[in-house]
Amino acid sequence: MELITPRLTLAPNGLRFLASTHRYAADPVHTRFMMNLPNNTVEETRTFLEAVEREWAKPEPEFYEFAILRNGAHIGAMSAYLDDARRSAEIGWIIAPEHTGQGYAFEAALALWRFLTDALGCERIIAHCDAENAASERLMRKLGMQKMSLSGGRYNKGCAQERQELRYEWSLEAAFMPLLSRIDELLAQRAHTSVAIDGRCASGKSTLGALLRKRYGCRLLHMDDFFVPFVRKTPERLAEPGGNVDYERFANEVLSVGWEQPLPYRRFDCVAQALEAPVLLPPNRLTVVEGSYSLHRALRDAYDIKVFLSLSPKAQSARILARNGKEKHKRFIEEWIPLEERYFEAEKIADYCDFRFEEAEDA
């Protein structure tokens, strides 16, 4: 398994990186703020990398240790240690001294972050650092983490004196708390509430939908199940803002039934180009529709709460590359993203929304 970014590759760490790992892991100045470094002998580094390889061989590793590669050269490492429930992860990083100051740690951390939240479903990410490690604290802040505590009792391997430690944390629920509070408010007032989550691809719509399903046990519908079949993708149809989605079928099969009723739900299989057999979804006090085009003008008035998620083109491209690979990345950039952007602009989707969540330029 590898995680790909515009400049880096994150590959499983192991003994093939013994020499390059030991060069930075044995540097007493570069590792002065770390609890488990420096390594005094190459055998210490070897023992660690042997444990890493054993972990990678497990069906579900308890921790993930990646080597960071730049043009094939090993320049550092990223790690993530999971809790027993595999819902929370503590991350760490190190960049070789000759490669610091170029944004590699941040770029690698973003790829690891997306792997943890998207692939593993982590909802909480933690990081610690020595209170004097200004570079690591800047990185944690840049990642959008919040400072939780400053405490004593830390002992770094290269220092006998007690140190102070900073703890930073990010949680999915905290990131969307204004939205969650509004949903709670409406559920207390009425028998049923509906939410639409629209926004740019790779902005976290599926992640937010999964969070709402876990928190509320809601009925979750996906606009990806309503794409237009190839036979209807005429130039005229695709020239229509939002014409890439079968909003007519969504209106006829979902909205016409009513949110409070059992829903015979048919998913469109894009590979087979056919509708699957209907599955009856029971009524639920909360229905969430996630996906681009969910706020098409033919649909938007049906929702109680409208949400728009966004991110910068730079972050979007990096995330798609890491998530979908180079071949799909090309199609996103040249085909699917332009269709989305034309729809967002023509329909002024963000302007209709009650909540807008936008990641920082590099986040």
How does pLDDT run across 259-290, given as a tens digit for each residue?
Answer: 999 999 999 999 999 999 999 999 999 999 99
CATH of 176-358, one of 2.40.50.700, 3.40.1710.10, 3.40.30.10, 3.40.50.300: 3.40.50.300
pLDDT, position 363: 46
Q: How many CA atoms lie within 13 A of 164 on its CB side?
A: 9
Answer yes or no: is pLDDT of 362 > 80: no
Q: Is the model more confident about 363 or about 21?
A: 21
Stretch (H or E) spanning 50 = helix 42-56
- Candidate from 170-179, 181-190, 282-291 with smallest mean pLDDT: 170-179
pLDDT, position 323: 78
Rounded average pLDDT over 308-329: 86
- pLDDT band of 18, cuts 50, 70, 90: very high
- pLDDT band of 10, cuts 50, 70, 90: very high
Rounded average pLDDT over 76-95: 97
Residue-range domain boundaries for the chain: 3-171, 176-358
- pLDDT band of 360, cuts 50, 70, 90: low
- pLDDT band of 95, cuts 50, 70, 90: very high
**At residue 346, what are phi and psi to the nearest 5 degrees?**
-65, -40
Q: Is the model more confident about 324 or about 128?
A: 128
CATH architecture of the domain 3-171 equals: 3-Layer(aba) Sandwich (3.40)
What is the C-alpha separation between 231 and 271, in angstroms, rounded? 13
Task: Judge contact between 55 and 62, C-beta under 8 A.
Answer: yes
Q: What percent of the chain has pLDDT over 70?
A: 99
Q: What is the largest CA-CA distance in the chain?
A: 72
Rounded average pLDDT over 154-180: 94
Q: What percent of the chain has pLDDT over 90?
A: 86
Answer yes or no: is pLDDT of 73 > 80: yes
- Candidate from 65-69, 238-242, 257-261, 312-316 with smallest mean pLDDT: 312-316
Rounded average pLDDT over 249-268: 96
β-strand 124-130 against 268-269: which pairing, if any? unpaired
Stretch (H or E) spanning 341 = helix 337-347
- Candidate from 144-148, 298-302, 325-329 with smallest mean pLDDT: 325-329
Query: Does a cis peptide bond (omega within 30 degrees of 0) precede residue 38?
Result: yes
What is the C-alpha separation between 76 and 86, in angstroms, rounded? 25
Rounded average pLDDT over 91-120: 94
